[in-house]
Amino acid sequence: MQLKIALLGGDGIGPEVLAQSVKCLKAVEETFNHEFIFTKAPVGAVAISNTGQPLPQETLNLCKASDAILFGAIGALEYDQNPEAKVRPEQGLLKLRKELGLFANIRPVKVFPSLVENFLLPKKIIAGTDFVIYRELTGGIYFGKKTLSEDGTAASDLCEYSESEIARITHMAFKAAKKRKKKLTLVDKANVLETSRLWRKVVTEIAESYPEVALECLFIDNAVVQLILNPSKFDVILTDNMFGDILSDQGSVIIGSVGLLPSASVGTENAMFEPFHGSYPQAKGKNIANPVASIFSTVLMLQHFGLYEEANAVASAVQKSFVKGVITPDILGSSKYGTDYVGDFIAENIVDSDENMNINDENIGLGRSTII
Ligand code: IPM
Ligand code: MG
């Protein structure tokens, strides 16, 4: 298969972790005879410094003309510390999502048995965790009208949703639940918000077309408690843009490191794959960032194009790095392995599954959790 892949490294550790994904995809290219055409383009704070724009038009054009986009990370300290900045790196990512119509953000959260001892939360809580968040990505409070009064003392952000915006991601989430553990949890705040009541109405109606899937509705404040107490009870979580942003970071605490979690943002025309994590500017250039979230994002990309054997080969190589302890310090404080080394190790271990007899349940499971 030939694929045109846009590489948007962005800010902070973004380019470093993305470079490891490219190594892995080059290994996939060679092992499985594909052709991946990579083109780099600027986005975020880096793009603002060079062009004044967080998403230059050429970057957007490249993304539109590509089969897939691999995204690194976005954000920089100078902007985080200056809420008054009118042009912000994050606007680049939000514009990209909107312009490309990437309305569904899919964030799988799965605990790996080989790492379960490494993390803060008790094993009895996190063992068996395997859920996926379907976060609406191009609507809601993120994109509603924003106002700031002239004297700067009052502000507002409008949260709006239409039935069709809710319905399209709801169908995707139900279809995923049908292939998984057949449970869907809608997270909202329907006791207070009108938009949440619309979500509940639309989702409940659509649920009738998926009788094999059990629908549960939780308020966001209760959901954060249930998720931390009982993460393994969840299967597919469906929610709006803002609640999805918050819940997915909570997912990273459950799994142990935000450096392990990938995501796919898809629409009808385009698809973008990116780690959950931010730009982690403090780690930039130190060769300590975990490349696994970015590499797992390529697994989601390969699955998106139906390249399941290839996706399994990458997931197996990551699994091998876990088992052999070739992991970065965010997982094991005493680890001497850096971003580059872990990336090389994973890329070198990407082999055709016919030749790899050591595939175990865990990595097969990842390959099977087809997301789309
Ligand atoms: C995420 C990030 C973004 C978001 C930021 C960087 C705009 O937190 O993808 O979760 O809020 O969507
Ligand atoms: Mg976030």
pLDDT digits (tens, 9 = 90+) for 238-292: 999 999 999 999 998 888 888 999 999 999 999 999 998 899 999 999 999 999 9
Question: Is residue 177 pLDDT above 50, yes or no?
Answer: yes
The per-residue pLDDT for 357 is: 46
What is the arithmetic mean of pLDDT over 140-159? Answer: 97
Give residue 241 CA to ligand 2 midpoint distance, Å.
Answer: 10
Question: Is residue 363 pLDDT above 70, yes or no?
Answer: no
Is 40 considered catalytic here? Answer: no
What is the arithmetic mean of pLDDT over 111-120? Answer: 86
The per-residue pLDDT for 68 is: 98
Index of the ligand 1 atom closest to the CA of residue 94: 7
Index of the ligand 1 atom closest to the CA of residue 93: 7
If pLDDT is split at 50, 70 and 90, which confidence band does 104 have?
Answer: very high
Give residue 288 CA to ligand 1 midpoint distance, Å.
Answer: 22
The per-residue pLDDT for 114 is: 87
If pLDDT is split at 50, 70 and 90, which confidence band does 341 have?
Answer: very high
Percent with pLDDT over 90 in the chain: 86
Chain segment 210-240, per-residue pLDDT in tens: 999 999 999 999 999 999 999 999 999 999 9
Give the strand pairing for 130-136 and 236-239: parallel
Is 324 considered catalytic here? Answer: no
Question: Is residue 352 pLDDT above 90, yes or no?
Answer: no
**Token reading at 151:** 């004297």
Index of the ligand 1 atom closest to the CA of residue 244: 10
Tell whether ligand 1 has an atom less than 6 A from the beta carbon of residue 74.
Answer: yes
Is 145 considered catalytic here? Answer: no
Stronger pLDDT, 256 or 75, i.e. the higher one: 75
Tell whether ligand 1 has an atom less than 6 A from the beta carbon of residue 235.
Answer: no
Question: Do 67 and 4 contact (CB within 8 A), yes or no?
Answer: yes
Question: Is residue 364 pLDDT above 90, yes or no?
Answer: no
Chain segment 18-62, per-residue pLDDT in tens: 999 999 999 999 999 999 999 999 999 999 999 999 999 999 999
Index of the ligand 1 atom closest to the CA of residue 75: 6
Tell whether ligand 1 has an atom less than 6 A from the beta carbon of residue 93.
Answer: yes
Is 189 considered catalytic here? Answer: yes
Tell whether ligand 1 has an atom less than 6 A from the beta carbon of residue 29.
Answer: no
Please name which ligand lies nearest the alpha carbon of 274.
1
**Token reading at 324:** 């052999």
* CA-CA-CA-CA torsion sign (186, 101, 241, 154): negative
Give residue 137 CA to ligand 1 midpoint distance, Å.
Answer: 10
The per-residue pLDDT for 360 is: 42
Write down the pTM of the prediction: 0.93
Active site residue: 189, 235, 284, 320, which one?
189
- Mutate which of 93, 141, 247, 265 for ligand 1? The one with the most ligand atoms within 8 Å of its CB, which is 93
Active site residue: 249, 340, 341, 344, which one?
249
Is 221 considered catalytic here? Answer: yes
Query: Please, what is the average pLDDT of the chain?
Result: 93
Neighbours of ion ligand 2 (CB under 5 A): 245
Percent with pLDDT over 70 in the chain: 95
Contacts 24+ apart (CB under 8 A), 283-288: 283/12, 283/13, 284/12, 284/13, 284/16, 285/16, 287/16, 287/338, 287/339, 287/340, 288/328, 288/329, 288/330, 288/338, 288/339
The per-residue pLDDT for 204 is: 98
Per-position DSSP letters for 165-185, written without gaps between them: HHHHHHHHHHHHHHHTTSEEE
Please name which ligand lies nearest the alpha carbon of 93.
1
